[in-house]
C-alpha cells in the first residue's frame, strides 16, 4: 500500500490521527453473479485501498471528509437512518451494525483517501464499508471475526445503499492476503485461501471508464430472475441444479430466465473447474475458463456492454502468442472493468496495446494496471 495514501488521509484531518484503517478493493478472477446463488467465487484483494485517518473529537458526532465529495455529519447518539450525502450511507450502515451489536461509538473526525476507482466494478463500496468497520474496531479497541465483519458490511450495503449484493466483495476485502486468492463457498460461507504466487503470471485490470445507468436496476433484476428460476426448478439451492433440470423446466422459465439459469449453472461448474486447474497449476485452462465465463455473462446473463466486450476482445486477440491466457469482464457489469490473466514478462506491452486499441476505438481513456493479491482490511495505526 502506498504511504502516499496514508499521508493524504492524515493531512486531511485537522488533528493528529490516533487510528488509521485501510481496506482494499477486489477483482474477481472467476465466478461472476453467483455469490448470491450459492456458488463459488474466486476474487482477490487488490493493491488499491481506501484509507481512513481518524481521531476522537469529544462529541457525539462523526465528522467525515473525502476528497471531491461533500462533507458528512453523523449523529451517533440516535439510531442511524439513510441520509445525505449519498456516500455517508455506507458509513452510516456500518455504524448501525456496530450500534446494534451494543457498542457505543465515540464522536470522531475522519478523513477518507482512496486509490480504488469508484463505480468501476472493483468494489470501492466494500472497501469503504470494510475500512469503516476496521476503523470502528480501532476506535472501540475491539475486534470482530473477519466473517462477522464482512457480513456486517454486506448488511450495511443492503440496508443503507439498497444494493442487494452477495457476500463476495466484503469477504474479499476482509479476508484478502498477499499471494492468495480468496475462494469463497457462498453456500457455506467458508473461505479457502488459495496460493496465487507464480511470478511468471500477472493479472491486468482494465477500467473501461464507462458506467451505464442500467447498473442500478439491472443488478437487482438479475438477482430476482435467479430467485424466480430456482423456485420454478424447485430446488433449495443452485448447488444441486443441473443443466438437465434447467432444460426440463424450459417452458416454465421462458427463454430469458432460462438463459439466466444457464449462466448460474455453467458458471458454478466453471469456477469449480478453475479451482481444479489452479490446484494442478494449469493456468492455460484457467484462462480458457475465464474466456468462457465472459461469453456466458455477455450472452446468457447479459450484464456486459460494448466497451467491456471490446476490452476483452482486444486482450483475447493479443492471444497466447502475445502472452494472454484469458480475459473477461469482472464485477457487476454494465461497464466497469475487465480482468486479464497473462504472462508477467508481457504484461507491460499487453497494457500498452490494450490502452491504445481501446482509446482509438472509443475515444475514451481507460485506466489499466496490473495487480497482485494483497492484504485485506487492517489497522495501520495502532499497528
Q: Is 169 a catalytic residue?
A: yes
Polymer length in residues for the chain: 383
Could you tell which of ligand ADP, Mg ion, none binds residue 160, using a CB distance below 5 to 8 A set by kind?
Answer: none
Task: Tell me how far apart the 2 most distant CA atoms of the chain are, in Å.
Answer: 65
Burial profile 311-346: b = 16 or more Cβ within 10 angstroms, e = fewer? bbebbbebeeeebbbbbbbbbbbbbbbbbbbbbeeb
Q: Does residue number 119 form part of the binding site for ligand ADP (CB under 6 A)?
A: yes
Closer CB to Mg ion, 117 or 287, in the complex: 117
- Find the catalytic residue in 38, 96, 169, 300: 169
Q: Which of residues 121, 176, 333, 376 is near ligand ADP by CB under 6 A?
A: 121
Q: Does residue number 8 form part of the binding site for ligand ADP (CB under 6 A)?
A: no
- Pick the piece of the chain touching ligand ADP (CB under 6 A) from 51-59, 110-118, 231-239, 319-327: 110-118
Task: Give, as ranges, the residues between 31 and 60 that touch ligand ADP (CB under 6 A).
Answer: 50
Closer CB to ligand ADP, 124 or 174, in the complex: 124
Task: Give, as ranges, the residues between 67 and 86 that touch ligand ADP (CB under 6 A).
Answer: 69, 86
What is the DSSP pairing of strand 108-114 with strand 61-66? parallel
Q: Is 30 exposed, middle or buried (0-12, 13-18, 19+ CB in 10 A)?
A: buried
Q: Indicate the Cα dihedral angle 361, 367, 371, 374, nearest 10°.
A: -140
- Pick the piece of the chain touching Mg ion (CB under 5 A) from 51-59, 103-111, 123-131, 217-225: 123-131
Cβ-proximal residues to 330 (8 Å cutoff; 6+ apart), any chain: 27, 28, 29, 32, 121, 122, 205, 336, 337, 338, 339
Closer CB to Mg ion, 28 or 125, in the complex: 125
Q: Does residue number 100 form part of the binding site for ligand ADP (CB under 6 A)?
A: no
Closer CB to ligand ADP, 211 or 288, in the complex: 211
Q: Which of residues 80, 123, 266, 271 is near ligand ADP by CB under 6 A?
A: 123
Q: Does residue number 1 form part of the binding site for ligand ADP (CB under 6 A)?
A: no
Contact 205, 122 (CB under 8 A): yes
CA distance 313 to 329: 10
Q: Work out how close the CB of 165 gets to ligand ADP at its nearest, in angstroms, rounded to a whole number.
A: 8
Matching residue, cell 476522537: 56
Could you tell which of ligand ADP, Mg ion, none binds residue 374, using a CB distance below 5 to 8 A set by kind?
Answer: none
Number of residues that bind Mg ion (CB under 5 A): 2
Q: Work out how close the CB of 125 gets to Mg ion at its nearest, in angstroms, rounded to a whole number.
A: 3
CA distance 149 to 363: 41
Cβ-proximal residues to 241 (8 Å cutoff; 6+ apart), any chain: 230, 233, 235, 261, 264, 265
**Mask for 277-316, x = binds ligand ADP (CB under 6 A):** ----------------------------------------
Handedness of CA 289, 258, 163, 147 (dihedral sign): negative
CA distance 264 to 38: 10
Number of residues that bind ligand ADP (CB under 6 A): 18
CA distance 344 to 326: 13
CA distance 229 to 245: 11
Closer CB to ligand ADP, 23 or 310, in the complex: 23
Q: Does residue number 87 form part of the binding site for ligand ADP (CB under 6 A)?
A: yes
Q: Does residue number 125 form part of the binding site for Mg ion (CB under 5 A)?
A: yes
Contact 117, 12 (CB under 8 A): no
Q: Work out how close the CB of 156 gets to ligand ADP at its nearest, in angstroms, rounded to a whole number.
A: 12
Q: Does residue number 337 form part of the binding site for ligand ADP (CB under 6 A)?
A: no
Q: Does residue number 28 form part of the binding site for Mg ion (CB under 5 A)?
A: no
| List of residues contacting Mg ion (CB under 5 A) | 123, 125
Site for ligand ADP, rule CB under 6 A: 50, 66, 69, 86-87, 90, 112, 114, 118-125, 128, 331
Catalytic residues: 169
Amino acid at each position: 500500500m502506498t504511504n502516499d495514501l496514508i499521508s493524504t488521509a492524515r493531512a486531511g484531518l485537522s488533528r493528529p490521527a490516533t487510528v488509521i484503517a485501510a481496506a482494499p478493493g477486489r477483482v474477481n478472477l472467476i465466478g461472476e453473479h453467483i455469490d448470491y446463488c450459492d456458488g463459488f467465487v474466486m476474487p482477490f484483494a487488490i493493491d488499491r485501498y481506501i484509507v481512513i485517518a481518524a481521531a476522537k473529537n469529544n462529541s457525539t458526532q462523526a465528522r467525515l471528509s473525502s476528497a471531491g465529495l461533500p462533507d458528512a455529519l453523523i449523529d451517533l447518539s440516535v439510531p442511524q437512518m439513510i441520509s445525505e450525502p449519498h456516500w455517508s450511507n455506507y458509513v452510516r450502515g456500518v455504524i448501525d451494525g456496530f450500534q446494534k451489536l451494543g457498542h457505543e461509538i465515540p464522536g470522531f473526525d475522519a478523513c477518507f483517501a482512496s486509490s480504488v476507482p469508484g463505480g468501476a466494478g472493483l468494489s470501492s463500496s466494500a472497501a469503504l464499508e470494510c475500512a469503516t468497520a476496521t476503523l470502528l474496531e480501532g476506535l472501540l479497541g475491539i475486534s470482530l471475526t473477519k466473517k462477522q465483519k464482512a457480513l456486517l458490511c454486506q448488511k450495511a450495503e443492503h440496508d443503507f445503499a439498497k444494493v442487494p449484493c452477495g457476500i463476495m466483495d466484503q469477504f474479499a476485502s476482509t479476508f484478502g492476503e498477499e499471494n492468495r486468492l480468496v475462494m469463497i463457498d457462498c453456500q457455506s460461507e467458508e473461505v479457502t485461501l488459495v496460493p496465487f504466487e507464480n511470478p511468471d503470471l500477472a493479472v491486468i485490470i482494465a477500467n473501461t471508464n464507462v458506467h451505464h445507468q442500467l447498473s442500478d436496476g439491472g443488478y437487482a433484476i438479475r438477482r430476482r430472475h435467479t430467485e424466480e428460476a430456482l423456485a420454478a426448478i424447485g430446488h433449495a439451492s443452485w448447488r444441486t441444479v443441473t443443466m438437465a433440470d434447467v432444460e426440463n423446466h424450459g417452458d416454465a422459465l421462458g427463454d430469458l430466465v432460462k438463459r439466466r439459469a444457464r449462466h448460474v449453472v455453467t458458471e458454478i461448474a466453471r469456477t469449480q473447474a478453475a479451482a481444479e486447474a489452479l490446484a494442478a497449476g494449469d493456468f492455460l485452462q484457467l484462462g480458457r475458463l475465464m474466456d468462457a465465463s465472459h461469453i456466458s455473462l455477455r450472452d446468457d446473463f447479459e450484464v456486459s456492454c460494448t466497451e467491456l466486450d471490446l476490452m476483452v476482445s482486444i486482450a483475447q486477440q493479443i492471444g497466447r502468442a502475445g502472452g494472454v491466457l484469458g480475459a473477461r469482464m469482472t464485477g457487476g457489469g454494465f461497464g466497469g472493468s475487465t480482468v486479464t490473466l497473462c504472462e508477467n514478462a508481457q504484461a507491460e506491452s499487453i497494457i500498452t496495446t490494450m490502452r491504445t486499441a481501446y482509446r482509438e476505438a472509443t475515444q475514451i481513456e481507460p485506466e489499466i494496471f496490473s495487480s497482485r493479491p494483497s492484504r485485506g482490511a487492517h489497522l495501520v495505526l495502532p499497528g
